[in-house]
Structure 1
Amino acid sequence: MKPELIMLMTSSLDGRQHPSRWTLTPDGERKDWGAMFEKVHETLGGDAWIVGRVTMQEMSKAAAHPPATLPKVARPLHVAARQAKGYGVVLDPSGKAHFSGGTVWGDHMIALLGREVGDAHLAELAADGVSYIVAEGPQIDLAAMLETLNRAFGIKRLLLEGGGTVNGSFLAAGLVDEVHVLIGPAFDGDSSQHGIVFHPGGLAGKCELSFTSATPLEHGMVHLRYAATPPRAG
């Protein structure tokens, strides 16, 4: 059984995800929008959160440090901690995210990796106290990864928090159950930047959204909520 997967993102009016580039507004400052995101994050009550490799590298800031002597490594699953208070998950097919310990923001880290990731990277993760799941096929099976997160770590509700590429991957696979977007009263205007969702070829025919609610928040924000389902046959 897979965890319930809830996408949660903050967005400008033109769909961009980095408030540092947004226009200013008298309704609130960037720190206020960040505080609203954290408030909704806590309200949703996830057991874990998941981001992509680029976002994780911005959070962790660690460099590669493989062990000098390569021990035997476990595949496809290494569990460094069970029943942690909270989990952070990174989708990292190429094994490029590094850590300075087993936790980020106090949550135990789990890396979802591609089959071709080398033993040196797995050994580095294990030495840092990071759990990992390695794909058994040539492509990462996102549904199978989610089922392993539930089975091996007891994760029942997972908050999908970007960036755009990882959001698009899970939406395209029909694995997202709800979409929550906090719209800030600002524009970005930079068309070279990915939006809160990106998928090569687009998402037409990949998922369907049904409106649930729109709730005004503090500092000019609006909380939009949708149910997400795979497209209906025919």
Structure 2
Amino acid sequence: MQAHIVLHMMTTLDGRIITSHWPKDFDYNSIYEDIHSRLEGDGWIVGRVTMAEFEKGTPKPVSQSEPLPRETWKAPHASNGPYAVAVDRSGKLHLNVDRVNGDAVVVVLTESVPDAHLAELRRDGISYLFAGKTDVDLPEAVAKLHKEFGIKRLLLEGGGAINGAFLDAGLIDEISQLIVPFADGSADTHTLFERKKSTATTFALQTVDRLDHDIVHLRYTKK
């Protein structure tokens, strides 16, 4: 079995997701987080770049001479969710904290990461699991999150690359999209999905809600 995955994102009318160009006249984050809470996920998942925004301080390397087993390690305090999950293929994430927004961190790695990085995660009290040898196997990762961390409902809230990878893997069951009432138009900002596949994926519209500040909340399910 695997978790039920809900993509939860906020975009402009033209599908842009980087907020640095957006008007500053109201609080987008509070609206986004309110819907996040209502979706009642057991955890949320993003890529390395997005999770790196929560890093504290500079990297603090650990020396590790003995090999560590490539098996799931759960931090002592991380027995219950919700969880903040990061996909970090090569072990480049250095959070230096074991919780993000109050949620215990779990990192999805490949077996190719250095032992020193695993030792760093253990030192910092960050749980981890393995999915793939050199490239992340997303279906395996989702299955392990369900089996080993009890995540039955997972909110996907990443950048365009990881969102596109989940879509290509056929893992997105629902979409929760908040659309703000303006176009970005910037050529250098990312979009909701950045995909390797060219075939369309079809979803069925379930609900449309108009929120404050003319934001529209769309809910879709996979056909």
Q: TM-score, normalised to structure 1's length?
A: 0.88
Unpaired segments ≥5 residues, structure 1: 230-234
Q: Aligned to 1:78, what secondary structure does the other structure show?
A: coil
C-alpha distance in 2, partners of 1:40/1:209?
A: 20
Question: CA contact under 8 A between 2:207 and 2:218: conserved in structure 1?
Answer: yes
AA aligned to 2:222 is A
Q: How large is the Cα RMSD of the aligned pairs?
A: 1.7
Q: Aligned to 1:190, what secondary structure does the other structure show?
A: coil
AA aligned to 2:16 is R
Residue 72 to residue 143, structure 1, CA distance change in 2 (3 Å): same
1:232 maps to which residue?
A: none
Is 1:227 aligned to residue 221 of structure 2?
yes
The number of residues matched between the two structures is 222
Instruction: Give the alignment of 1:61-100 within 5 angstroms.
Output: 61-70=56-65, 72-81=67-76, 82-100=78-96
Question: CA contact under 8 A between 1:76 and 1:135: conserved in structure 2?
Answer: no
1:3 maps to which residue?
A: 3
Percent identity over the alignment is 39
Question: CA contact under 8 A between 2:59 and 2:96: conserved in structure 1?
Answer: no
Unpaired segments ≥5 residues, structure 2: none
AA aligned to 1:220 is D
Is 1:212 aligned to residue 206 of structure 2?
yes
Shift of 1:73: 2.3
Q: In the TM superposition, what whole-angstrom CA distance separates every residue of 1:6-54 from its partner, at most 9, and x where no partner exists?
A: 0000001111112231246xxxx341x2111011000000010011111
C-alpha distance in 2, partners of 1:61/1:191?
A: 30
Q: Aligned to 2:38, what secondary structure does the other structure show?
A: helix
Is 1:122 aligned to residue 121 of structure 2?
no
C-alpha distance in 1, partners of 2:95/2:157?
A: 19
Shift of 1:147: 0.9
Shift of 1:152: 0.7
1:191 maps to which residue?
A: 187
Shift of 1:61: 4.3
C-alpha distance in 2, partners of 1:164/1:122?
A: 27
C-alpha distance in 2, partners of 1:148/1:53?
A: 19
